Structure 1
Amino acid sequence: MQSALNTPVSLPVDERLNRAVDWRLGIPLYVYAVVFSSLCIVWGLLWDIMWHMSIGRDGLFAPPHLLIYAGAVVAGLFSGFKILQLTFQKSHPDRAVSVRFWGIFYGSLGALYCVWGALAMLTSAPFDDWWHNTYGLDVQILTPPHTVLAVGMMIVQFGAMISVLALQNRLEDRRPESEAEKRQAARIRLMFGVSAGLLLSILFTLFSENMGEWASHNSSYYTWAAIAFPVYLMAVGRASPLRNGLTIVTAVYMLTMLIPSWILPLFPATPKLGPVLNPITHYQAFIFPLVLIVPGLLLDKLLQRYSGKVNDWLLAAMAGVVFMFALLAVQWPFGEFLHTSPYARNWFFLADSWSYGDDPNWEYRYKYHPYFIQSSTQFGLGFAQALLIAFVSARIGLYWGNWMKRVQR
């Protein structure tokens, strides 16, 4: 006789539905799907970079590419289904808070972004394959097909963030009171932090060629950072209801960047294209990311103290100064540690990672190249320019964040 412990329990349909809704906390399934897609895209891209550093030869259906495409397909299918559901099911409760486009279709703003981004990503795949077959290996991250892919990836990730943001803003307007609503609000806030951190990871990756530790004592390093990060961090900080939202976002970004670089080098990989100047036997890690969690923490404190108390122009000026000096205080010594110290040449800090196509005995592998060395005057003038750029970047970010706080569709 079968034991009662092994006998399957048949739950009533309503109870099974309630349990299914409970783990989702009333959050639509497609929102979970697009945030998962965003993670697949980031880790697929990082895997692809490490594949090129370690193996070289790839193709349309290389494993990293498949992970990236899986992210595009999942985001596109779930978001497309949501759009068709809202379009043809006129009684759907979410139709009232959806966007109408082309005079026929209804969908959330985030779902629209995800579909458009997924189409761009999948279009770039055969374009990239043709590019490789015609021109050979890429020597830069942003080749024409990669640019199409990068735009598509960022649109999908922005769509994931906006999908969560719309739910968050609608719930915040209702001021959750019940225990279930509070749990739902906490989950949505966390998902916003995760989705924003994943998009920040892609943003850093696109700028990483100009922000390696080898340039950390050059003003151009800080100029690129001023262009890329204050605009995004201030937008997310303004839109997030989390008390320490930017600390969470930057922590997610750092873990997202580091986990693949900590795991993949544990697996064997050998070059399949020549010339092989560095005969490696395992995957080579990507670079250690900028320690943005420190500027993120300080910007959180700044927003908590002054947001709504001073005008946005003054807040942007303070944010630009805080971000740039915090970044300088962290990255100047830490970049030198990563680039020159033998204690950084290990699994954790990744400083011993070196592509198979680069000479491991290069003179400037572990010291600064003369090209990146500046006098104090040159660095000071360059850093002053970066401060001005950071101010403009932060002001645009606050404007963007004000828009994001109003998104409810």
Structure 2
Amino acid sequence: MAVTAPTARAGTRGLAPAMVVLLGALLSLFGLSWDVQWHIDVGPDTFFTLPHLFLYAGSALTGLTALTVVLRTTAAERAGREVDPAVGGRAVGVFGRTFAAPIAYLVTGTSAATFLVYGLWDQWWHGIYGFDATIDSPPHIGLLLSISTTIIGSLMTFAVAKDQPWGRAGVFLAVAMLVAFFTITSLAFNDANEGIQAVDISIAFTTVTLLVTATSFFRRPGAALLAAATVAVLQAVLWVFTPWAAHTYADSVGLPVRDYVEGVPAMPNLIPMSLLGVALIVEALLFLARRNGWSARVVAPLSGAVGAFAITALAPVQRAITREFSFGDFGYTALTCAVAALLGLLAGVLGWRFGLVLRAAAPFTTKEDAR
């Protein structure tokens, strides 16, 4: 039974801008995977390479879409027309109420604007130092954080339309994109791999946080499995696309591929292949919680700890299978898993809270939503 005004249902009104923002985020994600592979397999790099243009086009698309929605919302509010809160969320005042911006598009537009600033910095950086030898240069960190926030904005645009099938599907895809994207951001911890595998811990932390977020947001059996399955599909697509794009582009511009190329795409291989198994564990814990009346305060951190432990424990197995790496020292792996499990407790709590925040951003359409 509805508990708010009929305007709470967006229908397809918010579909077009949400899909354009999603397309922009996908362009950025595929551009990043392509760019990382280009650096590994080919090397020479400038500001205007095709992978870079994918990244910039994605942010430009999301930024312009967000600006359009904000201007339309502002015009509607000034004309006294009712603003549908299910299209991008509730409108908030910007610059002393000069503009009325739906919260999801405010996040998306702001992140796109900061991406432009970091993009100019990156151009200056390339002009001084030439092609990049590392992913964690200062402008790259800013660019990665900006794109991450853009994808979070895309997640919000779909979350506020969760009563629509396209809204629910968009949430799963946006969560999967964040899982994939945060694997590259986690490489910033490469220099912290002393005594523990910090990159694996970071990947496990962000992945479990997002898996629990989807679970908390939907509050339905199977949500964790659907989120993990979406990640697996996206990983498979990136696995095929990434090396093909890098090598095809190299051929088109007359550059050779390096002799030692392994044939394993870098970014897709960072995504945990164990996630479906982890999702099954989370679903089992949620089943026990429903059956025994456990509260979210128990099941959320427990899910996070078990999930993070499983991901870090199986990460060496994934590397051994895909890249024929050795398993390494047992003590090193055991300590990594222990630290991951401890941080997983926090990841579970944060993921559950984030899911609640996303639910609160959506207009209430049922009594269950209002709780």
In structure 2, the CA distance between the partners of 1:120 and 1:328, relative to structure 1 (3 Å rule), is closer
State the partner residue of 2:348.
394
Structure 2 counterpart of 1:293, from 266, 276, 297: 276
* Structure 1: distance between partners of 2:181 and 2:301: 26
Alignment partner, residue 81 of structure 1 = 68
AA at the equivalent of 2:123: D
Distance apart, 1:100 and its partner CA = 2.2
Higher alpha-carbon deviation: 262-271 or 288-297: 262-271
Instruction: Report deviation, 1:279.
Output: 3.2
5+ residue gaps, structure 2: 1-10, 364-371
- Cα distance, 1:329 vs structure 2: 6.0
Retained in 1: the 8 A contact 2:66–2:109?
Answer: yes
Aligned residue for 1:374?
329
Cα offsets for 1:345-387 (capped at 9, x unmatched): xxxxxxxxxxxxxxxxxxxxx546xxxx3244x5434432321
Structure 2 counterpart of 1:113, one-letter code: V
Instruction: Deviation per CA, 1:258-297: give whole Å up to 9, x if none.
Output: 42331343444369999x9943799873252311222123
- Opposite residue 374 of structure 1, the aligned amino acid is D
> Residues of 2 paired with 1:62 and 1:277: CA distance?
16
Q: 1:245 aligns with which of 223, 248, 252?
A: 223
What is the CA–CA distance in structure 2 between the aligned matches of 1:387 and 1:278, rounded to whole Å?
39
Counterpart mapping for 1:335-354 below 5 A: 335-340=319-324
Between the aligned partners of 1:265 and 1:277, the Cα distance in structure 2 is 11
Q: 2:286 aligns with which of 295, 299, 303?
A: 303
Partners of 1:283 and 1:334 in 2: CA distance? 15
| Matching residue of 2:82 | 93
Paired residue type of 2:117: T
The alpha carbon displacement at 1:310 in A equals: 2.1
> Structure 2 residue aligned with 1:279, among 239, 259, 265?
259
1:184-232 residue CA offsets vs partner (Å, 9 max, x unmatched) = x222211111111112211122225769xxx9x9654653344333222
The 10-residue stretch of structure 1 (113-122 or 292-301) with the greater mean CA deviation from structure 2 = 292-301
Note closer, same or farther for the CA distance 1:186–1:242 as it changes in structure 2 (3 Å cut). farther
Aligned sequence identity (%): 18
Aligned in 2, Cα 1:331/1:58: closer, same or farther, shift over 3 Å? closer
TM superposition shift of 1:63: 0.9
- In structure 1, runs of 5+ residues without a counterpart are 1-23, 172-184, 341-365
Q: Which has the larger radius of gyration?
A: 1
Residue 149 of structure 2 aligns to a residue whose secondary structure is helix
Amino acid at match of 1:240: F
Distance (Å, rounded) in 2 between the aligned partners of 1:232 and 1:245: 12
Match of 2:44 among 57, 73, 86: 57
Q: Output aligned runs, 1:104-119, within 5 Å.
A: 104-119=98-113
**1:319 alignment partner in structure 2:** 303
The answer to whether the 8 A contact 1:38-1:160 is kept is yes
Aligned position for 2:182? 203
Higher alpha-carbon deviation: 74-83 or 278-287: 278-287
Q: Is 1:42 matched with 2:29?
A: yes
Secondary structure of the 2:100 match is: strand
Given that 2:204 and 2:312 are in contact with CA atoms closer than 8 Å, whether structure 1 keeps it comes out as: no
Bigger share in helix: 2
What does residue 368 of structure 2 align with? Answer: none
Aligned residues: 336
Counterpart among 203, 210, 214 of residue 232 in structure 1: 210
Distance in 1 (CA, whole Å) between partners of 2:141 and 2:251 is: 28
Give the corresponding residue for 1:349.
none
Amino acid aligned to 2:74: T
SS of the aligned residue for 2:265 comes to: coil
Letter in 1 for 2:184: T
Describe the SS at the equivalent of 2:266: coil
Q: CA RMSD in A?
A: 3.3
- 2:241 is aligned with 1:263: yes
Structure 1 runs (4+) deviating above 6 angstroms are 270-274, 280-284
